[in-house]
Structure 1
Amino acid sequence: MTMKSVLLPLAALSALAACSTTNSGVDVTRFHLEQPVARGSVFLEPANPDRAGSLEFRTYADAVAAELRDIGFTVASTRDAAELIGTMDYMQATRQAIAERSPVSVGIGGGTFGSGLGVGLGTMFGLGGGKSGDIVTNMLELRLKRESDETTIWEGRATSEAREGDAQASLSADIPVLADRLLRDYPGQSGETVTYED
């Protein structure tokens, strides 16, 4: 069986976003192997190991775990008990900052999920840290890989936009929404970007 690597520059996503004012929906892009994507037990961990055990990560992981359970996964409390490892990353940045990031690739079968996954994108500014009126982009990324052979079976990214200072610009408030849209219709069409308006 041949695995297909799919490349998607983040700059292209940013360019599309820049064509409008704020995107009221959530844009979701997913990639997976050209085969049925199995459900199983998942252990969630942060892309940045420094976040492990933090209240922020536990809160965001709980939101992702709830959505995983809704679509038929079980969430393991330890890595040893899991069939799959779910690596999470999240960030908040202005649209300009997103656009200025180097283009990244989303790969299946040994590729990389962005320049940040595995390093930790972090929060590029805190709430209230941007200029008034800036467009804020919130992002959640998740990669699922088999624990047995470390093969990535699914990965996806969800992004939303709001104006700095608006309630919906809060990353902590937006994560449950991003998690819901990211895992809705799992596994989704590989390589396709879908906008959820509701």
Structure 2
Amino acid sequence: MLEDRVHDTARARVPAQTRKVVRHSVRGQVLDALRAALLDGGLAPGEVYSGPALGERFGVSATPVREAMQQLALEGAVECLPNRGFRVLARTPRERAELAEVRALLEVPVMLRLARTAPPETWSDLRPAAEATAEAAATGDAAGYADADRAFHRAVLGLAGNEQLVRVSEDLHRRAQWPLPGAPRVRRAELVADAAEHAALLEALVAGDLAAVESLVRAHFRGAPA
């Protein structure tokens, strides 16, 4: 079945620990597979891809591919080219730096407020999310780590009780994860180091060390794996 083939394609790119939710939508499966391909180099910045060609690649019709690509266009990963397909956008170092700055403007004040007001046990409850990033990093899979990384930040910001903040921050986070053109494949050591910063951040939050929280978050955004 088409859905089974796409599911197998998506699973091949995602580590076992992230395969907990089975998507029933072919579009959703294709979207997951395309996002993974963007992160691991399967779709290259500047290249143009047609819906039918990608549909053949994933064993589905062009329709769910086009629908998934429309979502990626909203996320700033591709642009639509009438009668041609979709071009993968090339992120620039300046755009990456701007995204890091905007994320810091949003997240640092929230985390500082939470550090002052949330009880220590709140942060202990988030240790599994931090450990999940470490486990994903250990596999060296960029796409799997990207999912776990967003999940950790989503869990932290969710404590603020502001759904709009979480939604906007996740969109910025996902945009920041698209690789720079020509960038070498992210090494496992880089992912492991990035994941270790999540554990350090939790320790600073438990201790209520506001200076350490701010320093860690800003450095984390600046040094996120490209």
TM-score by length of 2: 0.27
Which one has a larger percent strand, Structure 1 or Structure 2? Answer: 1
Higher relative contact order (CA 8 A, sep 6+): 1
| Larger-gyration structure (1/2) | 2
